[in-house]
Amino acid sequence: MEKTRVCLIVDNPLRDLDGLILVSWHLSQMDVDVYLVPMYVQATDVIAIKPDLVLLNYLRPNNLNLARKYKSNGINIGVLDTEGTAGKDSDEFAQLTSSVGNLDLIDLYCFWGGDQYKSFVKLNKSIESALKVTGCPRYDFCNEKLQPILSKISNMGEFVLINTNFPVVNPRFSRGSDNEKEAMLKVGFESDFADQYIKDARIAFTSIIEVVENISNKFQNLNFVLRPHPFENIEAYAQLAHISNVFLKQEKTSIEWINSAKCLIHLNCSTAVEASMLGKHSISPEWLNTPALNVPNPNLVSFHAKNEENLVEMLDLLIKGVRLKGHQKIKESQDEIVKSFYANNDGHSAKRVAEEVIKSINNKKTITYKASNIFYINRAEVVFYLRQLLGYKIFSFIRNILKGKEEIAKQEGKYFSTNYVKNKLSKIQLCLANKDNRSVKVEYASQLNFDKNRSLSNKSIKIIYNKE
């Protein structure tokens, strides 16, 4: 009997990989062959692997065509949205994620919390049976049970973490703000709002750099680590590199950095919620905030500095170990937000995702989805058929000539190694294993596993139960 196969699409490794490795470990304990598939090679690899279910990183206009292809090949479609709290509130999140249409494709949709689920159900009652509250696996590492897996950052001394969140005006993987605006419009934002957001973000981006220069000068015996959003270009902060106590880092997860930091400074960054889960204080330079930029939940769990002088005062108190005024109110906000939006942070989100994946596969409908008979001549269709016709290596060779070194480097930033996956799985095994748990084997998915299917990229990673 052929083993169950599941593909997990990895969008950005810095943000998403650890959580999906944890899901993979749970699935492997259920005797499932799991494939961690980089987003940029999914078109070839998912079709080559032909899993029982593919767990998408989202369902948006840019991957809707692929989802149809998967479904028409008899593959179940699951979604674990990596932007699971997108929008200002749960209703806006539901509107943005529902606007793509074609939700009949979905066999499973995993929600981070009950509030998002309720809002989504209101708009999509017909697929309610496919909607499940699981929590988001990457936040499992904030739970005390799994915190030992986090690596301690010990070579920075005492430091304050500054997480920036400006991918729209400082993109790492797209060509600029125009491309980012186009993406905002495609998911349902109004053009006027997108323009205002970009304008405000540019001002805030420049101002944050100035704030870092100033506070690092006032606290010369304290280190500051500026960690750009995984979708930001770190080179845009190069002017800070000459400051002896400022370090630019875009490695390790945000949770690992927060866990080792004295406190967090951010502007509308969801990592403030991660900080609250880990028992760390967050400060928002609120004088830089605007209605367009404002994201409620991170700000509800943060102390608000009304100006730079106020920010310095707050930092001084926290460094001395003094609690800031209003910490009890923030704790109450944290408890409510974690309960409503993050499935209580109980450390079992990855396990729930794995269990729901198996249930979805076991309940697979016998009716095969049929893609539309109408042939749409668009870029996505042409690229898909060229990949299938030429195979991964030839297609990539031609594409790399056309794209150039800079574009290739951007794409390679979303690949990951077997060594990293092995190391993380070893820590998970030590933390969670008991006598009944199985060890796992990690390897690149090769063409030999799939009758020499030439479309396979050899960049996806296979995780299986180790029989040896």
The reported pTM is 0.88
For 163-210, give the DSSP string: E---TTTSBSSSS-HHHHHHHHHHTT--HHHHHHHHHHHHHHHHHHHH
Predicted confidence (pLDDT) per residue in 247-305, tens digit? 999 988 999 999 999 999 999 999 999 999 999 999 999 999 999 999 989 999 999 99
Distance CA 58, CA 50 (A): 19
Distance CA 165, CA 229 (A): 5
Q: With 80 as the cut, is the pLDDT of residue 36 above it?
A: yes
Question: What are the structural domains of the chain?
Answer: 5-140+347-378+413-465 (3.40.50), 147-344 (3.40.50.2000)
What is the pLDDT, as a whole number, of residue 153? 86
- How confident is residue 373, by pLDDT bands cut at 50, 70 and 90? very low
- The residue that leads in pLDDT, 154 or 250, is 250
Tell me which DSSP letter residue 416 carries.
-
- The residue that leads in pLDDT, 173 or 235, is 235
Q: How do 5-10 and 33-38 pair as beta strands?
A: parallel
Predicted confidence (pLDDT) per residue in 250-261, tens digit? 988 999 999 999
What is the pLDDT, as a whole number, of residue 185? 73
- Nearest 10 degrees: Cα torsion 223, 229, 233, 238: -10
- The mean pLDDT of the chain is 87
Distance CA 136, CA 138 (A): 6
Task: Report which listed range, 126-140, 172-186, 431-445, is most confident.
Answer: 126-140
Predicted confidence (pLDDT) per residue in 65-114, tens digit? 889 989 998 999 999 988 777 767 788 888 878 877 788 899 999 999 98
Number of H helices, E strands in the chain: 17, 14
What is the pLDDT, as a whole number, of residue 423? 93
Q: Are 200 and 165 in contact (CB under 8 A)?
A: no
Q: With 80 as the cut, is the pLDDT of residue 310 above it?
A: yes
What is the pLDDT, as a whole number, of residue 359? 96
- The residue that leads in pLDDT, 401 or 466, is 466
For 252: left if phi > 0, alpha if psi spans -120 to 50, otherwise beta; the answer is left
- How confident is residue 383, by pLDDT bands cut at 50, 70 and 90? low
